[in-house]
Structure 1
Amino acid sequence: MNIEQHKTKIIQKVLNIQDEKLLDEIDTVLNGNYIVAYTIDGKPLTKNQYVNYIESISESIANGAKTFTTEEVRNRIFSSK
Structure 2
Amino acid sequence: MSTAELKNKIQYFLENADDKVLKIVNGVFENYYQDEIVAFYPDGKPMTKNNYITDIETANNQVKEGDYISVEELENE
TM-score range, shorter chain: 0.3 to 0.5
Q: Which has the higher contact order (CA 8 A, sep 6+)?
A: 2
- With normalisation by structure 2, the TM-score equals 0.45
- With normalisation by structure 1, the TM-score equals 0.44
